[in-house]
């Protein structure tokens, strides 16, 4: 077991050294179980939205707003 820092929230957690090596080899973040569960749940939600053809407002709205401002600046 090795002490590593969660790359998302910063707390220190104990992980099996082979797990840490594998995560590093795969360029995956070392994260605590809570952050991992949140990330996985969010990824599942985004995947389901993609399959349903929906856009996520929090990701799309800032892009739309930036485009609108860019277009307004042109005229």
Residue ranges binding Zn ion (CB under 5 A): 6, 8-9, 32, 35
DSSP state of 29: P
- Least Å distance between CB 43 and Zn ion? 16
Task: Identify which of 41, 42, 17 has the alpha carbon closest to the alpha carbon of residue 30.
Answer: 17
Residue number, 5 or 67, with CB nearest to Zn ion: 5
The pair of structure tokens assigned to 20 is: 């840490």
Query: What residues are paired with 12 via a beta bridge?
Result: 5
Rounded Cα gap, residues 26 and 22, in angstroms? 6
8 vs 20, beta carbon nearer Zn ion = 8
Nearest distance in Å: CB 42, Zn ion? 14
Task: Give the residue with the Cβ less far from Zn ion, 7 or 55.
Answer: 7
């Amino acid at each position: 077991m090795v002490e590593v820092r969660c790359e998302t929230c910063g707390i220190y957690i104990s992980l099996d050294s082979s797990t840490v090596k594998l995560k590093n080899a795969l360029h995956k973040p070392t994260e605590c179980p809570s952050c991992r569960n949140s990330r996985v749940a969010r990824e599942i939600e985004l995947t389901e939205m993609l399959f349903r053809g929906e856009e996520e407002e929090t990701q799309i709205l800032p892009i739309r707003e930036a485009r609108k401002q860019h277009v307004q600046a042109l005229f």
